[in-house]
Amino acid sequence: MKTVHAMITGRVQGVGYRAWTIDEARRLGLKGWVRNRLDRSVEAMFQGDEANVEAMFEKCWQGPLMARVVDIRKRDKAEGEIFDSFTSKSTL
């Protein structure tokens, strides 16, 4: 199992990016969460099979139709919390 933390910047709020992320992550069988940040970025934690986590990371560069991703900072996480679903968290 692999866990990756991602900080996604660009035009990613107000364009359905969180809902799109939830749909795509669930489609790939991933667990974790996504949330907006006050700095207008989107933060996500993806957990699951390594190939599916990497596929999700690549999908994040495109996002939904109106999104325009400028950068994604990706960081592999050490073993830690085990998630049981993929959810949306409150803005931080």
Residues 14-33 pLDDT 10s: 999 999 999 999 999 999 99
What pLDDT, on the 0 to 100 scale, is given for residue 89?
A: 96
What pLDDT, on the 0 to 100 scale, is given for residue 81?
A: 85
What pLDDT, on the 0 to 100 scale, is given for residue 34?
A: 98
Counted domains in the chain: 1
Out of 18, 27, 35, 52, the active site residue is 18
**Domain contains 92:** no
At 50, which CATH number? 3.30.70.100
Out of 26, 27, 35, 36, the active site residue is 36
**Domain contains 8:** yes
**Domain contains 88:** no
What average pLDDT does the segment 77-90 reach? 90
Is residue 44 scored above 80 in pLDDT? yes
What average pLDDT does the segment 24-48 reach? 98
Is residue 80 scored above 90 in pLDDT? no
Domain residues for the domain of 56 are 2-79
**Domain contains 17:** yes
Instruction: For residue 36, indicate whether it is catalytic.
Output: yes
* Strand order from edge to edge, sheet including 42-48: 68-76, 2-11, 42-48, 31-36, 86-88
Q: What is the 3-class SS of the chain, one letter each residue?
A: CEEEEEEEEEECCCCCHHHHHHHHHHHCCCEEEEEECCCCCEEEEEEECHHHHHHHHHHHCCCCCCCEEEEEEEEECCCCCCCCCEEECCCC
What pLDDT, on the 0 to 100 scale, is given for residue 64?
A: 96
